[in-house]
Structure 1
Amino acid sequence: MPTALITGASAGIGAVYARRFASRGYKLVLVARSLEKLEDLAAELGAAYAVSVEYIVADLTNSDQLQTVSQRLSEGDIDVLVNNAGAALLGTFEEADATSMERLVALNVTAPTLLASAVLPSMVKRGSGAIVNLGSVVSLMPQYFPGIYSATKSYMLTFSQGLSAEVAGKGVYVQAVLPAATRTEIWEKAGADLSQIPNVMEVDDLVDAALVGFDRREAVTIPPLADVGLWDTLEQARAVFPSGLGGSPAARYINHS
């Protein structure tokens, strides 16, 4: 039986991923901060699907606790890593305090990077495995989401694409999932009123769509995007862009005065 480790697994997107992978027969390692929620979910999944469920209580912004999860990933038996844990930070960059921004970067950027680093060697060694990184559509439209949240999610997209290019030929699949607004606790924790946000997707719908992309081995899955041609056009432009980069300044930047 394969094993999936899921961060932010006690509620929302992470809990639904846990249920879906359990239904596929995966053994689970669940990571979250709430012991009570992890115990309840482990009992639920064990009873419903007769799978082994291990859990680790960890705050991934704490370096020692992050190391505990990294150590578990390095043991070599994890087939799928779902980097789901994350947070939002509302308000402008000008208004944000340094401590809040540092914590956001630690959770949204540093933690998933180091967890992927911990699990990757064993995946490459056996020639199989998958890393799923939860990003956001705001990575493609930062002007609509002030502050650094969109920047952290832009990192997740770029990180996923770069890692995919590096390890796809070694049997490791990397998927970036870019949700739009989804009905999770992240909004309440950030102080947002979800009732004021249009077109909110239900969590089950989001994860089920993401898993369709997972099964298709999509590099980037954008569940609410109806016209895939828009993404294809963007990717084609990105692929062609480097061919126009020469070793000298472009003519439009040469001062002829």
Structure 2
Amino acid sequence: MTRPRALVTGASSGLGRGYALSLAADHYDLVLVARDETRLRELATSIETEHGTHAEVVVADLSTRSGIDMVRTVVETSRIDLLINNAGYGLKQGLLDSDAAELEDQDMVLTGAVRELSLAAVKQMRERGRGGLINVSSMAALTTMGQYAASKMSTLVFTEALAGELRGTPVTVTVVLPGFIRTRFHERLGVDRPGRVGSG
């Protein structure tokens, strides 16, 4: 029997790594996407050794046009049964102290890449008659925490709209709003927040 195949963005650490490990334990083959090739390959090797499933590595920066195109090509040319859009990062500065290019890059990862990959995936899934999409938003979407919150709210509304359009089809669409979980996300920001320890 062909194993189900999932693509996870932001898979090298944190929630993305946690999703990848859980899916591998459930006998999914994986496409692991992130910028950090070393961590991705270490994860892929660990998954293949411990679970006997196949883990493909795609090194891509989703703040760039070429990075999004690379992952979208994978989605459009191979079978993806489950897409998890998890990639993301925060900025240390507030809106007024952030460079416009930094805000655009962040929004590209948190909103643009999510939108393009989601649409590419669910169109393929609808044609095949099955599939699932999970978009990782954040509890920050319900706050006013700068561009990060604005982008996460956009992802929340976009995913809910997409779920409405796909109602009655065999394609499931889910948005999740994690609370604060201690991962490398917060380490990179230099933020110490209370919360459960994450997997990366």
> 1:114 corresponds to which residue?
116
Which runs of 4 or more aligned residues in structure 1 lie more than 4 Å from their structure 2 counterparts after TM superposition? none
- Secondary structure (helix, strand or coil) at the match of 2:157 reads helix
| Residue segments in structure 2 that go unaligned for 5+ positions in a row | none
Q: 1:67-99 deviations in whole A, cap 9, x for unaligned?
A: 111000012410000000001124332222211
Name the amino acid aligned to 1:172: V
Task: Give the 3-state SS of the residue equivalent to 1:180 in structure 2.
Answer: coil
Which one has a bigger Cα radius of gyration?
1
User: What percent identity do the matched residue pairs reach?
Assistant: 34
Quote the Cα distance in structure 2 between the aligned partners of 1:77 and 1:162: 24
Equivalenced residues, count: 197
Aligned-partner residue type, residue 148 of structure 1:
Q
**Larger relative helix fraction:** 1
Q: Secondary structure at the match of 1:170?
A: coil
One-letter code of the match for 2:196? M
Of 187, 196, 199, which aligns to 1:201?
196
SS at match of 2:168: helix
2:125 is paired with a residue whose SS is helix
Matching residue of 2:58: 56
Of structures 1 and 2, the one scoring higher in RCO (CA 8 A, sep 6+) is 2
Map of 2:181 onto structure 1: 182
TM-score by length of 2: 0.94
Cα distance in 1, alignment partners of residues 67 and 110 from structure 2: 15
User: In structure 1, what is the equivalent of residue 161 of structure 2?
Assistant: 162
Look up the equivalent residue of 1:186 and give its one-letter code: F
> 1:149-181: CA deviations, max 9, x gaps?
110010111011001001131211111110111
Name 2:89's counterpart in structure 1. 87
For structure 1, the 5+ residue unaligned runs are 205-257
- Greater fraction of residues in strand: 2
Report the residue type matching 2:184 in the other structure: E
Distance 1:178 1:90 in 2: 21
Q: Which amino acid aligns with 1:128?
A: R
